């Protein structure tokens, strides 16, 4: 009952967003759904993109709201088997819940309050999940075709983003078929359907992977991908062929591998 009340409170008090802002041309909502990520008293933040003069290399210079994009705890990063190991696990509970499918102008996204996570003693409510093509994190030099981010937020504003890779397989994945076209619709969905059977993962402190690049994220990145068909990957690429930020320096941050 507590978890259910918490997720309802989060749903009522927050406006949902992808890991960043929205373009001026977005038509999926009349209200800026990213205001809770980067409140800007001086007006809307600057437009950004994944290429050219407004691409990742320029994000920090486009707007003072994006200054963190030049920080030293940025994401994504290159993950490797040299990480330290631990058996500390997260505890996630997801329910069947209504999800609103939107195309944010930067990603295909599903806004939902369908679950919560307890990590390091803190409770986080699920806000939304969205997909990047290709994947943003790499694992031992491998870049998967796509990466799904499940964004969770605590009452204190801290974020946990759980990432799941997609790899090409022989058949369609039923967990993807209802939302990857980005159509403006509603659906009933249990987010845990996106989890691989093997839940070993990497974890580290990082940032949003799009402006404003806020360094308030604890990342949990599953190292076992889930399978999807070539046709489903093509459907994702038809929406966004490349909406992935390049890997950022890990620096002196600790990268930990959590065993099953």
User: d(Cα 65, Cα 214) in Å, to the nearest integer?
Assistant: 9
Instruction: Dig out the tokens for 201 from the structure.
Output: 């993962």
Q: What does the block give as tokens for 197?
A: 């059977």
Cα 55 to Cα 17, 243, 245: the distances in Å are 20, 10, 9
Q: What pLDDT digit, counting tens, does each position of 195-248 carry? A: 999 999 999 999 999 999 999 999 999 999 999 999 999 999 999 999 999 999
Q: Which residues pair with 233 in a beta bridge?
A: none
- Cα 232 from Cα 251, distance rounded (Å): 36
Q: Residue 174: CB partners within 8 Å, gap ≥ 6?
A: 193
pLDDT at 112: 94
State which residues form the domain around 181. Answer: 2-258
Tokens of 170: 């022989």
Number of domains in the chain: 1
| Mean pLDDT confidence for 137-152 | 97
79's CB contacts (< 8 A; 6+ apart) are 137, 138, 139, 140, 202, 221, 223, 255
Q: How many CB atoms lie within 10 A of CB 42?
A: 8
The pLDDT-based confidence of 41 (bands split at 50, 70, 90) is low
Query: How confident is the model over 152-171, as pLDDT tens digits?
Result: 999 999 999 999 999 999 99
Q: What is the DSSP secondary structure assignment for residue 167, as one 8-state letter? A: E
Q: Where are the alpha helices (DSSP H) in 1-126?
A: 2-13, 59-62
pLDDT of residue 260: 76
Q: What is the pLDDT of residue 257?
A: 95
175 DSSP 8-state letter: T
Other beta carbons less than 10 A from residue 14's beta carbon: 17
Which of 154, 77, 85, 81 is closest to 120 using CA atoms? 154
Q: Terminal CA-to-CA distance of the chain, rounded, Å?
A: 28
We report the CATH number of the domain holding residue 83 as 3.10.200.10
């Amino acid at each position: 009952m507590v978890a259910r009340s918490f997720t309802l409170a989060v749903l009522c008090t927050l406006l949902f967003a992808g890991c960043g802002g929205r373009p001026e041309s977005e038509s999926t909502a009349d209200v800026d759904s990213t205001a809770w990520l980067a409140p800007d008293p001086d007006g809307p933040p600057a437009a950004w993109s994944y290429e050219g003069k407004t691409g990742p290399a320029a994000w920090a210079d486009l707007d003072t709201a994006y200054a963190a994009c030049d920080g030293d705890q940025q994401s994504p990063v290159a993950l490797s088997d040299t990480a330290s190991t631990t058996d500390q696990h997260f505890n996630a509970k997801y329910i069947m819940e209504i999800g609103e499918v939107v195309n944010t102008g930067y990603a295909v996204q599903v806004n939902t309050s369908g679950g919560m996570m307890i990590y390091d003693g803190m409770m986080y409510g699920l806000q939304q999940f969205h997909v990047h093509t290709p994947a943003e994190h790499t694992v031992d030099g491998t870049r998967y075709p796509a990466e799904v981010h499940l964004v969770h937020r605590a009452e204190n504003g801290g974020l946990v983003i759980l990432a799941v890779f997609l790899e090409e397989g022989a058949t369609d994945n039923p967990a993807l078929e209802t939302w990857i076209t980005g159509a403006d619709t509603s659906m009933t969905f249990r987010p845990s359907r996106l989890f691989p059977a093997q839940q070993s993962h990497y974890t580290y402190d990082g940032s949003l992977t799009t402006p404003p690049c806020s360094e308030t994220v604890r990342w949990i990145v599953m190292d076992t991908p889930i399978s999807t068909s070539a046709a489903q990957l093509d459907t994702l690429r038809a929406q966004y062929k490349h909406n992935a930020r390049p890997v950022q320096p890990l620096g002196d941050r600790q990268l930990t591998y959590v065993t099953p």
